Structure 1
């Protein structure tokens, strides 16, 4: 089965006009998958809906005072500006739900071998502060959770967002059982890049073939060296040549090949894979949909290569959301 994780709250956040964060892309992606790709009519594809994480759960990863101030809207204005969102109850609800969604994606990957989350990748959240549109670090949260599951003794986070996963690196610096691997643009946000376990920093204007060659070689070596029991994959599409914040020159077809390579290598090695859609930025949010959809096309290509969409029928195999 190919489990997909989604909640409508991901896009239910009102932001100021011309805000840089593409908040509607999650709902648009869901509509694309269900109405245009009709992914729910492929054999063994189901949607799952997370329940929000609790403050107590988040405090196992983040500083307790930070979580309390965040939830109760008592963070100093400067710290909210660093996050990049105006505070609202909806912001907190979507943060708690999306964080739980990445954890659920890990649970489903552990059970079925793969799972994809239509949100996630908030890798700039640190122990006691948020940054870069990230309030809570769902990748680190889910990785810690993965280590509590049977048979999972080592986790690897493969972060392909164009921006380095600085919060993930600092949060997990002392976790020897979680390997952090970030491939990113060398001269892009954040300005200060703490060491991940593996950092692949590529120059601005890196194109498709150079990106895939460099990343593929390091990925193969990393998987062979560390032999993780589960991989969490941040499939950020802000590496795209038309991304507003990216500075790379990778094509849509290149993103498909990247995603397919990660999924195929994990599949061939029998490593459960939990993927999140990660970053992607355009003023026209609809332009992101097809690019993010490459992750789902790649998963279908690897896990259901001989299947074709069935005729529209019952929705009995899909959890309505």
Structure 2
């Protein structure tokens, strides 16, 4: 595979760079319910975490913005919703009910902060050479291994360290490995080889978890590219830039995906850009956070697989 150089014009990114401290969340509905939504706001105005938050968090292109969907040690399967205008974070639905991931012994929920890089898209029309499978139709996933527990909707600047090539339901589902730039260990973490030095066993446990985590719902074990070996930073950057280029074609209208909401406020040149005074923005309800719905006890059990 030919890797993509980072020495490109920043104007090609469509949007100016922005920093994580500009972002807040607007929560609507009851957590753990079908009506719960978390909108991301910039300066108090709802924006799309899929389209409006820049991929890069600094002018050196060495730090990337991660949108946290699932905080460490939690089970609720929150994700950026592609079908709703401005792509709020919602709880995924499976078999008509809010989805939770099971506790696979000895793992309690997710062992890292889990989320996605904005302005990326794993195109389901694109076949990955290394796997021979199509993309999973989502922004590229990130596991963030720093010590601070994030929160759903947090925009976290991270350093990319490498990538795991997961094959999930016969789709390519990259899992980037990253660390918060503000983590105490961040200065010592520069590539995938540093993960084992600083966090021995973490990568092996991550592979083990992703292999097993859908077995309790009746799916088989997942498989991996490269026999489960995590690839280095250079390779990971190549995959990020591939998915970023796919996103650019999507949001510019070059790729027609009718099931994906492409409404945005900040992507220059996009035919889907709207004004902050548009009805789509003004019709988003104000903050209305309700008490969380109790979680079914089955999601608190250990599952031995």
- After TM superposition, the score normalised by the length of structure 1 is 0.28
Greater helix proportion: 1
Please report the TM-score for the alignment, with normalisation by the length of structure 2.
Answer: 0.29
Could you say which structure has the higher strand fraction?
A: 2
